[in-house]
């Protein structure tokens, strides 16, 4: 994760504020117990992350940051080790994710990863909610919370 707009930062606040640092969805998923509450289908998310990491490792076998991350996860997470041993390889660039956000509750969002021909390893991921849905309302609330003039105590949901 290189950059976020304000709603994206708010959406992924549990990942960004996790004790498992530096922030990374794979590190969060496998090393932070809170990820089981955040991801609605933790197992599917974990399977997809491992398959994507395996695909990236095949494309960039000498990338030290990537191999260090894989080594860290393999050393510290039995769930990661068992999935890594399955040798699944795929990348998903579109789909839907359901997550349970600590401030606005459940959100089901569609996503699409847009790649850049000039930088094959970089993608811009856009999320959206079905119009007039509970998720759209929750996403609007999350955007309103992040644009409010008062700050929120990190992780508490209370005004600071």
The CATH number linked to 41 is 3.30.450.180
What pLDDT does residue 4 have? 79
Q: Is residue 159 part of a domain?
A: no
Whole-number mean pLDDT of the chain? 86
Q: Which of 35, 39, 137 is CA-nearest to residue 96? A: 39
Q: What percent of the chain has pLDDT over 90?
A: 54
Q: Is residue 155 part of a domain?
A: no
Range of the domain at 81: 6-147
Give the number of other Cβ atoms within 10 Å of residue 112's Cβ: 13
Q: Is residue 78 part of a domain?
A: yes
Q: What is the mean pLDDT of residues 61-65?
A: 93
Please determine, for residue 17, whether its predicted confidence score (pLDDT) is greater than 60.
yes
Q: Is residue 158 part of a domain?
A: no
CB 3 within 8 A of CB 122: no
Q: Is residue 160 part of a domain?
A: no
**CA torsion, ordered 117, 118, 120, 126, to nearest 10 deg:** -70
Q: Is residue 38 part of a domain?
A: yes
Task: Give the total number of structural domains in the chain.
Answer: 1
Using one digit for the tens of pLDDT, what is the confidence trace for 64-77? 999 999 999 999 99
Q: Is residue 11 part of a domain?
A: yes
What pLDDT does residue 153 have? 47
Q: Is residue 33 part of a domain?
A: yes
């Amino acid at each position: 994760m290189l950059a976020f707009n304000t709603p994206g930062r708010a959406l992924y606040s549990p990942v960004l504020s996790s004790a498992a640092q530096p922030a990374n969805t794979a590190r969060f998923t496998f090393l932070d117990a809170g990820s089981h509450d955040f991801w609605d289908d933790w197992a599917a998310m974990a399977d997809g992350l491992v398959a994507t990491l395996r695909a990236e490792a095949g494309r960039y076998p000498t990338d030290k940051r990537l191999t260090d991350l894989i080594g860290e996860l393999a050393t510290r997470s039995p769930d990661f080790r068992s999935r890594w041993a399955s040798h699944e390889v795929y990348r998903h660039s579109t789909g839907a994710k359901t997550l349970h956000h600590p401030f606005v509750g459940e959100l089901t969002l569609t996503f699409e990863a847009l790649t850049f021909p000039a930088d094959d390893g970089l993608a811009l991921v856009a999320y959206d909610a079905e119009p007039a849905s509970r998720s759209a309302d929750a996403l609007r609330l999350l955007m309103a919370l992040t644009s409010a003039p008062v700050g929120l105590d990190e992780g508490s949901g209370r005004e600071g």
